[in-house]
Structure 1
């Protein structure tokens, strides 16, 4: 009986964790979700990835309204491994349970959007690394790269904006 109760509690915990992550993704604005999709696509396209990674949690985000439908986005978030094999159609956290035996991937991305679409110029910057390998130097280099991205002459730095 005790084993059954433990299994039920563990199952509920997994479900709550996955639905919470899905809820966090759904709370993001379209501009942030598109960036997450870009990072997820890049990570899951690596040949060494066997199980897909999905959005887990936002850590830091900021945006700068450049006017005339232009926005500059910075977003730092975690991706987490799932139990779904690569190639799973319509993968989401409620369909693909998160694994707790793999390290998180810490991603920092910055890009320009116009009319809600990510622009190819300047090239979107996607930097993702397994959390245990993320050093303060890598984190600083990531932020500095986003600060130096050439958006437009005279525009303020994206990371000078107050973070949400």
Structure 2
């Protein structure tokens, strides 16, 4: 009886863990959720990845308004392995694994009217957390800073009629 009760409690804990992470994803603004979906798709497309990874936790996010419906977004978050193999019918229902390291992701991209733009190319940097170094974090930050909007840059307001 005690073993059954333990199993029920563990199952409930796993379900709450999954539900909470997916609710956190649902609470993200659409522009950030699109970036997470892009990163999840990219990570899960790697041949070496055998189980499905899902959004786990948002750490930091920022946006620069470029005007005219353009924003430059940065999002730092974790992905976590699930018990489902690649190709699972409904991966959002998969239980998280606690025996695998998290994947630390930093992404930055330009979004215009709700669509991620291809120019500049979105930057997706995801790496297993134990392999993340200060140099990689610095490189990630420099790359994202270089692609963001800079105050004082020419804009449509600075253009002249011929």
Aligned partners of 1:122 and 1:151 also within 8 Å = no
Provide the alpha-carbon RMSD of the alignment. Answer: 1.4
What do the CA deviations read for 1:82-115 (whole angstroms, capped 9, x no partner)? 11111123421xx111111111000000000000
Per mean C-alpha deviation after superposition, the further-off stretch among 136-145 and 73-82 is 136-145
Determine the C-alpha separation between the residues in 2 that align with 1:79 and 1:44: 10
Give the alignment's TM-score, normalised by structure 1.
0.88
Equivalence for 1:99: 97
CA distance in 2, matches of 1:144, 1:115: 26
Q: Deviations over 1:51-76 (max 9, x none)?
A: 11010000000011111111110000
Aligned position for 1:36 = 36
Alignment TM-score, normalising by the size of structure 2: 0.89
Shift in CA distance, 150/73, structure 1 to aligned 2, threshold 3 Å: closer
Instruction: Answer whether contact 2:101 2:130 (CA < 8 A) is retained.
Output: yes
| 2:64/2:149 contact within 8 Å kept | no
- Quote the residue 2:144 is aligned against: 146
Shift of 1:148: 1.1
Structure 2: runs of 5 or more not aligned: 154-162
Q: Distance in 2 between the 1:6 and 1:80 partners?
A: 24
Runs of 4+ deviating beyond 3 Å: 150-155
Return 5+ residue gaps in structure 1 as ranges: 156-164
Bigger-Rg structure (1/2): 2
Q: The residue matched to 2:54 in structure 1 has which SS?
A: strand
